[in-house]
Amino acid sequence: MEKEKILIVDDEEGIRTQLSWALRDEYETLLASNAEEALALARKEKPDLVTLDVALSTYEHEKDGLDILEDLLQIDPLLKVIVITGHGEQINALRAISSGASDFYTKPINLDELKVIIKRNLHVQRLERENKELIEELEEKKFEDIIGSSPKMVEVFRTIRKIATTDVTVLVTGESGTGKEMVAKAIHRKSLRRDKPYVTINCGAIPETLLESELFGHEKGAFTDAYIQKKGKFEYANEGTIFLDEIGELPLSLQVKLLRFLQDHKIERIGGKELIPLDLRIIAATNKPLEKEVQLKKFREDLYYRLSVINVQLPPLRERGEDVIILANAMLSVFSKEFNKINLSFSQKSILRLKEYGWPGNVRELENMVKRAVIMCQSKRITPFDLGFSLTEESKKPLSLQAIRENAEKEAILEALNANDWNVSNAAKYLDVSRTTLYALIEKYKLKKEEDIQ
């Protein structure tokens, strides 16, 4: 494993030599005595961290540390810069932090203290770089707002690309929570109608007595309380796309009216005498097996064939392999920002449980689970307990109070060890226990680095 690079910028040769000697066993050190040398080395060597003396020169025409801070961060926005100031220069330290420095240290230098500050900043940087790489990886695996790289999802993306620019009617099928509406939106955004209206209606969420008016509108006086003329969703979607969610819940009487529209592209408002021509595309979705509904005479066969010219079948989450972890990390990134909890990650046990779980609620269930975990977690590592697995029916037995305490203790120890790169002495100080006690707890819980587990 390559050593991380630290650029030491100081105009005093003695300090440069002292720091380089103290850090060379753990890091690759680079030395610069002035601003120009520092910037040249930063561009060439791409260091991970810079210790930057504020007072680089006594000459007015030369730049000091604060002058080049912005330039260093432009070279690498994730670069960690620790500003080193003299005694009584706190105002410069505050200016540096407000300008983007990650930390500051006041002379005289205590090497042990500075090493802890450096280690902490590099740990944070590794998490930030991992997060950046994850986001870039997710972008590669994202189609519109849909994330996935499993073969079945790749086939879904391929189908959307093929059909989007046509006006063919599409039926999206799949279990509840698989993302059918996201597919409908993706088709619309890729279509030639992308700048026109996109209207959605859930056929199962509106009472049958109101659904016809919601879909097709009504004329003034058509029924009691019809005080004004009202346009329906179909008219509002004219020239665009209408998404009929849960089409399997559409009453037979309205199935006839929908079939008529698919045949002649005209509607008639309730109480109206005029046929209104419309130009729009229909995308429908259902979690019901419509073939069986046809056999049971609950859904018209002719309408079924009209709607399913193209059928986009969404796979359940349990059949999408590694997509579970990709989606979970994407959701973790979103909710971490929403709830202002930075640098969260899943523990190895959490990843295993996410992979093993059956996901009856599919992507929607995963979203709710990750959101709950971000809100409830007490450390930077999200545990199976945070995700709620210990509260599910999968648990063989309910957790005892002792088990809950042990879980919390184990996760706190892991967090301390990871934050200190498994330096037991530093982790013991972090937890305010003796090294002997910490070694005993590590043995008790059989804790190991995650890379040793994999």
How much is the average pLDDT of 287-297? 93
What pLDDT does residue 57 have? 62
Q: Do residues 167 and 280 both lie within one domain?
A: yes
Question: Is the per-residue pLDDT at 392 higher than 60?
Answer: no
Give the model confidence (pLDDT) of 56-109 as tens digits: 764 444 567 788 888 999 999 889 999 988 766 677 778 888 888 888 888 888
Q: Do residues 416 and 280 both lie within one domain?
A: no
Q: Do residues 216 and 353 both lie within one domain?
A: no
Domain termination residue (choose one: 315, 335, 352): 315
The CA distance from 109 to 375, in Å, is 40
Domain termination residue (choose one: 395, 421, 442): 395
C-alpha closest to that of 136 among 362, 305, 395, 333: 333
Q: Do residues 154 and 301 both lie within one domain?
A: yes
Question: Is the per-residue pLDDT at 25 higher than 80?
Answer: yes
Give the model confidence (pLDDT) of 157-174 as tens digits: 999 999 999 999 999 999
Domain termination residue (choose one: 315, 349, 375): 315
What pLDDT does residue 401 have? 60
Q: Do residues 347 and 435 both lie within one domain?
A: no
Q: Do residues 311 and 324 both lie within one domain?
A: no
- Contact indicator for 88, 98 with CB cutoff of 8 Å: no
What pLDDT does residue 407 have? 75
How much is the average pLDDT of 234-255? 95
Q: Do residues 376 and 227 both lie within one domain?
A: no
Residue 390 pLDDT level (bands cut at 50, 70, 90):
low
What pLDDT does residue 277 have? 96
Residue 40 pLDDT level (bands cut at 50, 70, 90):
very high
DSSP reduced 3-state for 334? helix
The CA distance from 74 to 97, in Å, is 15
With a CB cutoff of 8 Å and minimum separation 6, the contacts of 435 are: 424, 425, 428
Structural domains of the chain, count: 4
**For the residues of 434-447, what is the DSSP string, one character each?**
-HHHHHHHHHHHT-
Straight-line distance from the first to the last Cα atom of the chain, in angstroms, rounded to the nearest whole number: 17
Q: Do residues 377 and 296 both lie within one domain?
A: no
Looking up residue 426, the CATH number of its domain turns out to be 1.10.10
How much is the average pLDDT of 234-263? 95
Residue 134 pLDDT level (bands cut at 50, 70, 90):
low
The angle subtended at Cα 56 by Cα 50 and Cα 58, nearest 5°, is 175
Looking up residue 34, the CATH number of its domain turns out to be 3.40.50.2300
Of the two residues 431 and 371, the one the predictor is more confident about is 371
The CA distance from 110 to 106, in Å, is 9
Q: Do residues 159 and 264 both lie within one domain?
A: yes
What pLDDT does residue 82 have? 93
Range of the domain at 300: 148-315
Residue 431 pLDDT level (bands cut at 50, 70, 90):
confident
Looking up residue 304, the CATH number of its domain turns out to be 3.40.50.300
pTM for the whole structure:
0.62
Q: Do residues 128 and 158 both lie within one domain?
A: no
Q: Which of 129-138, 328-337, 372-381 has the lowest average pLDDT?
A: 129-138
Question: Is the per-residue pLDDT at 182 higher than 90?
Answer: yes
Residue 405 pLDDT level (bands cut at 50, 70, 90):
confident
Looking up residue 337, the CATH number of its domain turns out to be 1.10.8.60
User: Which spans in 248-383 are helix H?
Assistant: 252-264, 290-295, 301-307, 323-338, 348-356, 362-376
Instruction: Sort 420 into a burial class: Cβ within 10 Å, 0-12 / 13-18 / 19+.
Output: buried
Residue 410 pLDDT level (bands cut at 50, 70, 90):
confident
Give the model confidence (pLDDT) of 210-227 as tens digits: 999 999 999 988 888 888
Q: Do residues 229 and 301 both lie within one domain?
A: yes
The CA distance from 256 to 299, in Å, is 10
How much is the average pLDDT of 391-420? 66
Q: Do residues 92 and 218 both lie within one domain?
A: no
Q: What is the dihedral of CA 129, 130, 136, 141, to 10 degrees?
A: 180
